[in-house]
A and B are shown apart, each in its own frame.
Chain A
Amino acid sequence: MAAAEPAAFALEAITKRYALRGRDVLAIDRLSLACRPGEFVALVGRSGCGKTTLLRTVAGLEQPDGGTFRWGRPGGRPARAAMVFQEPRLMPWLTVRQNVGFGMMDAPDRAGVEQAVARLLELVELSAFADALPHQLSGGMAQRVALARALCLDPDVLLMDEPFGALDAFTRRALQRELVQLWLGAERRRTVLFVTHDVEEAVLLAERVLVMRAGRLVAEVAVPLAYPRRPEDINVVALRERLIDTITESHSNERTLQ
């Protein structure tokens, strides 16, 4: 990566440790990463390799123990970063509509927010459930609400932590398509960092797939395929297999990408 290239955000030699029952766990180990504005990046790796921690560091939910993190804009902070968690994390006392608009409560333009919420509900096909409470939704519906809530913040950077991990195959496929549509529809304004342990999902969604292991980035694969992508597409299959090989290979091969 050229250092001069403008980045949406950049991590330089980030380190994050946890104390786990007196033992020191190195969740992220001197990791460097830069994402271009508008880029869709997927992060894959086995569970426990530090994907969530990396995402939380970018989101500002964790303070790194070493290294520097910076937003690419000159001012230092982006207009907004939003995160979709592994679980929907909806406020159980708010309706679907209120949950979607939750982050925009302070916006002075009430009518504008209401409009945006209505549009997003249509986008995730939940207009009929606008006044339902979260406990009345299925897992897939709840996760769609969470996605709409994140998009309602109109983020420059969208951080997603295995957002479809707990969903059935059909819902997952539908949401993957929706997400790509949303990203393309916004003229690729949004930078997406998408964590998954599903290699196929990564190939279907991202322009660039990063492989993580033991707190480090160990490989990077570009996915130069047009959208929409289909899982049975020969190129998708080939890339998926190559990535799986890379991940297994990287076990014996300690070469890292820094």
Chain B
Amino acid sequence: MDFQRGSRHCPSSRGPWCGKIKLANADDLHSYLCVSATVIPKPTTRWSRLLRGAVALLACAPAGHVAVGRLRSWLSFAMLVGLWAAASAAGLTTPFLLPAPLAVLETGTRLVADGTLIGHLAVSFVRVAAGFALAVLLAIPLATIIAALAPARALLLPPLEFLRHVPPLGLVPLLILWFGIGEASKVAVIVLAAFFPLFLGTLGGITQCDPKLIEVGRICGFSRRAIIGRIVVPAATPAIIVGLRLALGYCWRALVGAELIAASAGLGFMILDAEMLARTDIIFVGIVTIGLMGLAFDTLALALTRRLVPWVRQELNLGRG
């Protein structure tokens, strides 16, 4: 937004917003925009007071307090949806391009009720689960072998480096030729997408293993294999988990991409189908579902991380604040 910081000008009186806004809404918008530019105006309306409080909470609440932190992340969502609702209510948007949140919610409820959404979600979920599991089984052992054995490194790393730079979606046509139009090609795309974050995370974690810890293993008289299993791999778990989290996100993205190109079920297909039917509300339901699933996965992964690697810090703490 390119209005001047701290300007008392109402941006709505000029620019693209002009003419479409009723005064009360313009005031609201003004206070939001000004707030977002870190200038907090005098609380004139109830709306602006609310926003002011919200921003104050977001910006100033003591960090590290769990409840406040959680409230904060919900608040940032609520503000986004609020803005969306306000824009829709103000008639700033065409329902065809950007349906109101309530309309999306209604469609979502209907799609859940008639089983459509759950069906597509289940199809996508199974694909991700299968692809992700395969990628884990491939990438982690392969990275371990490559890190431990110089000949394997020399042989396998260059072709893998080459493949890494080919986006998985670019391979979809080829994968369809090879694996057919069915499930196998979709799973293959997901494996490709998840493989490299996992592989590189593991490889990085293993090669970064503190040689001082390895020396402890040598003093204990451990074999090379025991040193890898008991010291190197455990030491690499934090990096592997980062790889897992990245891979989950990549999986999900690649899946929807693949389903957009060729599928007869799944969230990506649902979105594409809705586009054909000009049902923007369904597209939004799809987008929100994808986002929510991603969030759910990551929350789960974080919770698992806390359980599995309690010795690794989750947050940077610079003190104060």
List chain A positions with a Cβ less than 8 A from chain B.
59-61, 80-83, 85, 87, 89, 91-93, 102-103, 105-106, 133-135, 153
Q: Quick check: B218 and A91 within 8 Å, CB to CB?
A: no
B1 within 8 A of A: no
Q: Looking at the complex, which one of B213, B220, B310, B311 makes contact with A103 (CB distance below 8 Å)? A: B220
B window 218-257: CB within 8 A of A: 218-221, 226, 230-231, 234-235, 237
Rounded to whole Å, the gap between the CB of B60 and the closest CB of chain A is: 31
Q: Quick check: B212 and A87 within 8 Å, CB to CB?
A: yes
Rounded to whole Å, the gap between the CB of B236 and the closest CB of chain A is: 11
List of A residues within 8 angstroms of B213 by Cβ: 89, 91
Q: Looking at the complex, which one of A59, A81, A133 makes contact with B311 (CB distance below 8 Å)? A: A133
List of B residues within 8 angstroms of A105 by Cβ: 220, 226, 230
List of B residues within 8 angstroms of A89 by Cβ: 212-213, 215-216
Q: How many Å lie between the Cα of A59 and that of B219 in the bound state?
A: 7
B window 98-124: CB within 8 A of A: none
List chain B positions with a Cβ less than 8 A from chain A.
212-213, 215-216, 218-221, 226, 230-231, 234-235, 237, 309-311
**What does DSSP make chain B's interface, helix, strand, loop or mixed?**
helix
Q: How many Å lie between the Cα of A80 and that of B216 in the bound state?
A: 14
Q: How many Å lie between the Cα of A60 and that of B231 in the bound state?
A: 19
Q: Quick check: B216 and A93 within 8 Å, CB to CB?
A: no
Q: Quick check: A61 and B215 within 8 Å, CB to CB?
A: yes
Q: Quick check: A135 and B311 within 8 Å, CB to CB?
A: yes
Interface hub of A81, A82, A89 (most chain B Cβ within 10 A): A89
* Chain B residue nearest to A80 in the complex (CB): B221
Rounded to whole Å, the gap between the CB of B94 and the closest CB of chain A is: 55
Rounded to whole Å, the gap between the CB of A84 and the closest CB of chain B is: 9
* Chain A residue nearest to B216 in the complex (CB): A89
* Chain A residue nearest to B210 in the complex (CB): A89
Q: Quick check: B309 and A103 within 8 Å, CB to CB?
A: no
List of A residues within 8 angstroms of B237 by Cβ: 93
Q: How many Å lie between the Cα of A82 and that of B220 in the bound state?
A: 7
Q: How many Å lie between the Cα of A133 and that of B310 in the bound state?
A: 9
Q: Quick check: A82 and B219 within 8 Å, CB to CB?
A: yes
List of A residues within 8 angstroms of B230 by Cβ: 102, 105
List of A residues within 8 angstroms of B226 by Cβ: 105-106
Interface hub of B216, B219, B230, B311 (most chain A Cβ within 10 A): B219
Rounded to whole Å, the gap between the CB of B189 and the closest CB of chain A is: 34
List of B residues within 8 angstroms of A61 by Cβ: 215, 218-219
Interface hub of A80, A91, A135 (most chain B Cβ within 10 A): A91
Q: How many Å lie between the Cα of A135 and that of B216 in the bound state?
A: 18
Q: Quick check: B234 and A103 within 8 Å, CB to CB?
A: no
Q: Quick check: B216 and A92 within 8 Å, CB to CB?
A: no
Rounded to whole Å, the gap between the CB of B153 and the closest CB of chain A is: 24
Can you report 29 residue pairs joining A to B where beta carbons are below 8 Å apart? Answer: A59-B219, A61-B215, A80-B221, A81-B219, A82-B219, A83-B219, A85-B216, A89-B212, A89-B215, A89-B216, A91-B213, A91-B216, A91-B235, A92-B311, A93-B234, A93-B235, A93-B309, A102-B216, A102-B220, A102-B230, A103-B221, A105-B220, A105-B226, A106-B226, A133-B310, A133-B311, A134-B311, A135-B311, A153-B220
- Supposing A59-B219, A61-B215, A103-B219 touch, asked if A91 and B231 sit within 8 A by C-beta, the answer is yes
* Chain A residue nearest to B312 in the complex (CB): A92
Q: How many Å lie between the Cα of A234 and that of B218 in the bound state?
A: 42
Rounded to whole Å, the gap between the CB of B112 and the closest CB of chain A is: 42
Interface hub of B213, B220, B221, B237 (most chain A Cβ within 10 A): B220
Rounded to whole Å, the gap between the CB of A47 and the closest CB of chain B is: 18
Q: Looking at the complex, which one of A59, A60, A85, A106 makes contact with B212 (CB distance below 8 Å)? A: A85
Would you list the 9 A-B pairs with minimal beta carbon distance, nearest first?
A: A103-B220, A92-B311, A83-B219, A93-B234, A89-B216, A133-B311, A89-B212, A135-B311, A93-B311
Q: How many Å lie between the Cα of A85 and that of B221 in the bound state?
A: 16
Rounded to whole Å, the gap between the CB of B206 and the closest CB of chain A is: 15
List of B residues within 8 angstroms of A133 by Cβ: 310-311
Rounded to whole Å, the gap between the CB of A27 and the closest CB of chain B is: 17
List of B residues within 8 angstroms of A153 by Cβ: 220
Q: How many Å lie between the Cα of A25 and that of B312 in the bound state?
A: 38
List of B residues within 8 angstroms of A134 by Cβ: 311
Q: Looking at the complex, which one of A80, A83, A91 makes contact with B234 (CB distance below 8 Å)? A: A91
* Chain A residue nearest to B218 in the complex (CB): A61
Rounded to whole Å, the gap between the CB of A190 and the closest CB of chain B is: 15
Q: How many Å lie between the Cα of A91 and that of B309 in the bound state?
A: 12
Rounded to whole Å, the gap between the CB of A166 and the closest CB of chain B is: 14
Q: How many Å lie between the Cα of A174 and that of B6 in the bound state?
A: 64
Q: Quick check: B234 and A60 within 8 Å, CB to CB?
A: no
List of A residues within 8 angstroms of B218 by Cβ: 60-61
Q: How many Å lie between the Cα of A86 and that of B93 in the bound state?
A: 67
Further contacts, 11 of them, CB under 8 A, given A93-B235, A103-B221: A60-B218, A61-B219, A82-B219, A85-B215, A87-B212, A89-B215, A93-B309, A102-B216, A103-B219, A103-B220, A105-B230
Q: How many Å lie between the Cα of A178 and that of B121 in the bound state?
A: 63
